[in-house]
Amino acid sequence: MERILAQPESHAFVSARDAEGRAARPADAIWPRDCERASAPKLSIEIVHGEPPRRFDADWLDLLPRADAPNVFMQPRVLRAAASIRRLVTLLAWEQHAHGRRLAGYWGFSIGRPHLSVLPITVLCGPATDHAYLSAPVIDRDRLDVTLHAMLDAVAVTPNLPNVVALESMSGSGATYEALIRVLKERDSGFCHLDGKNRPLFMPGGDGANYLEKALSSSSRKKLRQHRRRLAEKGRLETTVARAPADVCRAFEDFLTLEAKGWKGRRCTAMACCPDDAVFARNLVAALAQSGDACVYALELDGRPVGMQVVLRAGFAAFTWKTAYDETLGDFSPGMLLFEDYTKAFLTDSSVAFADSCAHDDTGYMAAWTGRKLIIDLWLDARCGASGTFAAVARLQKAYLPLRETAKQAYRGSPASQALVRVAAAARQVLKRGEKKPAPAANHLVRAF
């Protein structure tokens, strides 16, 4: 962990000077133009490079019940699992409270090239890790605007941090998103929406007992009963859930094996295909299992998993993180049968207020969940005032994405192209294995803007 500048009395860690050498404003200062925020409790921003210390874990747990948008991918344990393979930076907003300081906001990033971009630029990337599907900050619902202002201020005045933030899989609705857009407009900061998709969301509502009856048509429910009966004719069929830490880790090894046997393994995108990804995933699951925030559902045939679902938790929110099934039994829809089982489990679990599917869009079987969550890609400039450079780069990225989608469609229609991409993916994994661990600090990076 690298602290930029320690100010023990204010608990702020900010740079002493800006990129041009001028004295920088402390992150907990109140700007004269921000008169509407002058009555709010002052915040200090702590900037942590590298692995978030374990001392933050208790503060995170204290923040979760107050958070507007729980996000397991901002969990300190998740970021620590990625510290060996990503150049991380975390923003923590602290406020003075009656019993001392307490955490008001938490936002983790990696420093590097933005995902799905060919532009040679360095930005703050959210989420901070691969295999993470939500980049929204976790902020006290009563401190949204002032916390976002303070976090963006800290990014803007710290010379070894990029000014541009590239958020992939950002919540496109809700109080946190609305506050972010409101704050950007107040600051006259540049921002650009690049993409948007609806993601299935489980929300039990008032009539939980009849949820699946309403979510699935009668013909779909009948077909699932037939599949379950026919699959049970092949052996003992049962659904299990691993919750104890040791059981979760064992089940996750089975999951990695099952995933690698399917289409992801053939495309070299399964986590087991890349040692770094596998180590990160094992560390993540083990760490969250220790705090009771990870479990693995499995549909088993004679004790052998034929469908598996890894579920992560952040307070009252569940995240169906990773799924896999035995493709040799695809005619029996084992993934959908397991989906039916853990949906029933969520309906009877009073600690689950909602479940985020973590799906790319709403075209898969999770579309049976009746709720929808808008997920967007959003680039923004942390600095106050319009930037011609940011506007130009955002336009280039926006123009590139349709070209990329066109190329993807062409690839899907060409077996030769698919074979070429599979070879390229395998070569990329080999190259990744040879990469050195990134330095924990980011002082040597040159800002793109």
Q: Name the residue ranges covered by the structural domains of the chain.
A: 2-198+375-433, 204-352
d(CA 294, CA 178): 30
pLDDT (0 to 100) of residue 2:
30
The answer to whether the Cα torsion of 412, 415, 417, 419 is positive or negative is positive
What does the buried/exposed string (b/e) look like for 249-285 if buried means 16 or more CB atoms within 10 Å of the residue's CB? Answer: bebbebbbebbbbbebbeebbbbbbbebbbebbbbbb
Task: Name the nearest CA neighbour of 351 among 377, 318, 384.
Answer: 318
Task: Name the nearest CA neighbour of 438 among 49, 168, 159.
Answer: 49
The answer to whether the Cα torsion of 84, 397, 358, 104 is positive or negative is positive
What pTM was estimated for this model as a whole?
0.83
pLDDT (0 to 100) of residue 424:
57
Task: Name the nearest CA neighbour of 105 among 52, 131, 69.
Answer: 69
Per-residue pLDDT of the chain (449 residues; tens, 9 = 90+): 332 222 222 233 333 223 333 333 333 333 323 333 434 568 999 999 999 999 999 999 999 999 999 999 999 999 999 998 899 999 999 998 777 899 999 999 999 999 888 888 999 999 999 899 999 999 999 999 999 999 999 999 998 899 999 999 999 999 999 999 999 999 999 999 998 999 999 998 766 668 998 899 999 999 999 999 999 999 999 999 999 999 999 999 999 999 999 999 999 999 999 999 999 999 999 999 999 999 999 999 999 999 999 999 999 999 999 999 999 999 999 999 999 999 999 999 999 999 999 999 998 899 999 999 999 999 999 999 988 889 999 899 888 888 877 877 776 666 655 555 555 555 555 554 544 445 444 333 334 44
pLDDT tens-digit map of 355-395: 999 999 998 899 999 999 999 999 999 999 988 889 999 89
d(CA 151, CA 12): 11
pLDDT (0 to 100) of residue 96:
87
204-352 fold? Aminopeptidase (3.40.630)
d(CA 409, CA 230): 37
- For residues 262 and 270, the answer to whether their CB atoms sit within 8 Å is yes
**Burial (CB count <10 Å: 0-12, 13-18, 19+), residue 5:** middle
CA 90 from chain center: how many Å?
14
Kindly state the tokens that stand for 261. Answer: 């046997």
Helical spans, DSSP H, in 217-312: 218-232, 245-260, 263-266, 275-290
Tell me 120's DSSP state. -
Tell me 90's DSSP state. E
Task: Name the nearest CA neighbour of 133 among 426, 366, 393, 429.
Answer: 366
pLDDT (0 to 100) of residue 24:
38
